[in-house]
Structure 1
């Protein structure tokens, strides 16, 4: 993977997007005001009704690849099944935009959501953050940043094998999809240098105080070179008094979550996610 030019990696991911089959009331793009040029987001509304909770989504891709089209079908289906509006974030990518660009964009969109903008018809008082892989790391870092700065907190955070710490904890679980070398390459593009990787904005697990973080659904894959580092973080959350639901899915690799309709584990996780949203966000 790391020998492939960035532009080619991005095109390969774009070409692999799942066909869109789920009907939805509305899906539209907005540019959220922020420095330097605003952040593009895509909003999914499952029905004509107003006042639904809002889930902010950050895509995977090692901070280097990915975008709004990547999870289109998955997010439409999740919006309909959970009965929530979803705001998908097109954060800036490395290496053109290194840390803290992606986190800054994510925080800007989160604060925009919590301001109750007229473009959103959902109930922004009932809002959560979610993400997959790099996007999961951004969700964790965003919650930590909001807590540390006294900003608006998510009601919950939903994280699919988010890299809670920029380190490889299970090199023996290397696969063709994600190797230790791949991880190092992605981190080199996004946050080069030891100092950057010890920043809680890159590695939320190094934050000293985790108390007061939102209820967390944290998913890991059995075959994943970052698995134990993320599960160690889940244990620290529990020790800090944070409500945590942590599931390790057997027989799957990093990247399985959005493979609904193709993997039974992905279908099971989809149901688990919908249930978590209903319990932790809809009824808050």
Structure 2
């Protein structure tokens, strides 16, 4: 199936804004393009605050969204997209406000260090530092319930969801209640070279991976390539969304199937006619709105006190 007409219009508009493919664009220029295209925040939210989480590397900036003054709200740690090399706290501002409100969660968005200035394991280390901070029940989270916490992320952020979950399990640290991955690569390889757009091509993937993990020997680690893990048992339940037009689609779906085979409850949904990068485009793409509602439903179900208390 080709791109849907609406998705094609989005891709065409993106192509018109870019003078060259991503992998031929200097990283600084690509970061500026992404920042200029950020959707302005218009949704009011009860409270929004930027703090710096202590870490061995000198601190990780995070942005905290609180939808109400209610006591005991669950928490979601969000990791943004951008190939581990672009993106930041302003990237998903409007989307995360709406997600926090709709799901009734305190949402912590992570501004992890970016490649190539900070290659692997910098991003993963930062995300783990934020996770450990959340679980310590810091005063910045107020009355949030840090026993009910999910990891969520898009694209590179979705890969960080997978790798961080594995690392937490392997180190015997507290695990998230659930993991939500929006087309984060389940394996660091091109499985669908026929499915590319200006928003992600095989050449773009290799360019991002080379910046994130310049040491190719390190790519054998499951903390880089989730699919490299021999054992996926004991990981948190998962919601995994994929886009049909995505050069890494089948590898991510294969990872979801392996999770299921290892006894992990997995909800997997592929969006036909959609491209990598569509999830946060809720104003332009109806399937992105559908995915948003499914994420809200999943988080509401798995983070509810009734479900948590029975497990």
Q: Normalised by the size of structure 1, how large is the TM-score?
A: 0.99
Is 1:24 aligned to residue 73 of structure 2? no
Report the secondary structure of 1:234's partner residue: helix
Within-5 A mapping of 1:1-284: 1-121=22-142, 122-283=144-305, 284=308
Report the secondary structure of 1:154's partner residue: coil
CA deviations 1:216-245 (Å, max 9, x no partner) are: 000000000000000000110000000000
How far off is 1:194 after superposition? Answer: 2.9
How far off is 1:192 after superposition? Answer: 1.8
CA deviations 1:113-154 (Å, max 9, x no partner) are: 011111102111110100000000001111000000100100
CA deviations 1:142-193 (Å, max 9, x no partner) are: 1000000100100000000011111110001121211101000000000024
Distance 1:177 1:71 in 2: 16
How far off is 1:207 after superposition? Answer: 0.8
User: What is the count of residue pairs matched by the alignment?
Assistant: 284
**Rg: which structure is higher?**
2
How far off is 1:282 after superposition? Answer: 2.1
Distance 2:140 2:50 in 1: 10
Report the secondary structure of 2:77's partner residue: strand
Distance 2:283 2:71 in 1: 30
Distance 2:90 2:215 in 1: 31
Q: Normalised by the size of structure 2, how large is the TM-score?
A: 0.90
Give the unaligned 5+ runs of structure 2.
1-21
Distance 2:256 2:247 in 1: 16
Distance 1:35 1:10 in 2: 26
Runs of 4+ in structure 1 off by over 2 angstroms are none
Distance 2:226 2:100 in 1: 27
Report the secondary structure of 2:185's partner residue: coil
How far off is 1:50 after superposition? Answer: 2.2
Distance 2:223 2:123 in 1: 10
How far off is 1:47 after superposition? Answer: 0.7
Distance 1:95 1:146 in 2: 25
Distance 1:193 1:171 in 2: 24
CA deviations 1:247-276 (Å, max 9, x no partner) are: 000110000000012101000000000000
Distance 2:201 2:176 in 1: 32
How far off is 1:205 after superposition? Answer: 1.2
